[in-house]
């Protein structure tokens, strides 16, 4: 059984930063607070679920500096900050253009390989909701009995996951390309 936990519950389980840092870039307030609190990961990122991997600030800064040309060549606007990735090479993005207090999440589907913004999907969720979504996926992935022999989510689990995902945002659905 899976159940959406609050961001606060999830935050308590995240590895806390041992060494203080100074976030020296203009980023949304909620992301800065998270970077200042969570981090010092062994590989500079935190694997919440297979397709929900969160970069530490240090790693995200390096990735965004190294990928300026990549972002431009793939049609990703400069105002998008890559804060995570998936096991298949897709990117999780935050819009830094308007610098709200609350982040807005986007998903870039690398598999499309077209150089335009058409493959940057606005999830219309916050960073906290992204963590709740990632935690739900993690719960489903941990129990192998949720999958059939082809590693497809069983229908009963898909229905349960879809119900929980809808609690995060009515816009999201369990069969979106960024979920499994």
List, in sequence order, the alpha helices (H) in 67-126: 68-73
Q: Kindly state whether residue 4 falls inside one of the protein's structural domains.
A: no
Give the structural domain span for 117: 19-126
Strands of the sheet with 45-49, listed across from one edge: 45-49, 52-55, 80-85, 91-95, 105-108, 120-122
> pTM above 0.75?
yes
pLDDT grade, residue 21 (50/70/90)? confident
Give me the number of domains the chain comprises. Answer: 1
Residues 17, 36: Cα–Cα separation, whole Å: 7
pLDDT digits (tens, 9 = 90+) for 53-62: 888 888 898 8
Q: Is the pLDDT of residue 180 over 60?
A: no
Q: Kindly state whether residue 151 falls inside one of the protein's structural domains.
A: no
Domain CATH code at residue 83: 3.40.1580
Q: Kindly state whether residue 174 falls inside one of the protein's structural domains.
A: no
């Amino acid at each position: 059984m899976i159940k959406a936990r609050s961001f606060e519950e999830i935050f308590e389980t995240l590895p806390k930063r041992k060494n203080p840092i100074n976030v020296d870039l203009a980023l949304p307030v909620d992301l800065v607070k998270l970077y200042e609190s969570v981090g010092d990961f062994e590989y500079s990122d935190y694997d919440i679920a297979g397709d929900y991997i969160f970069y530490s600030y240090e790693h995200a800064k390096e990735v965004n500096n190294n990928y300026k040309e990549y972002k431009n060549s793939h049609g990703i606007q400069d105002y998008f900050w890559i804060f995570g990735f998936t096991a298949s090479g897709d990117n999780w993005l935050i819009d830094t253009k308007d610098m709200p207090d609350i982040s807005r999440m986007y998903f870039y589907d690398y598999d499309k390989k077209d150089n335009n913004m058409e493959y940057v999907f606005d999830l219309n969720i916050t960073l906290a909701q992204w963590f709740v979504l990632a935690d739900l996926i993690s719960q489903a992935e941990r129990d192998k009995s949720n999958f059939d022999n082809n590693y497809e989510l069983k229908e009963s689990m898909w229905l349960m996951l879809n119900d929980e995902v809808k609690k995060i945002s009515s816009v999201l659905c369990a069969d979106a390309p960024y979920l499994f």
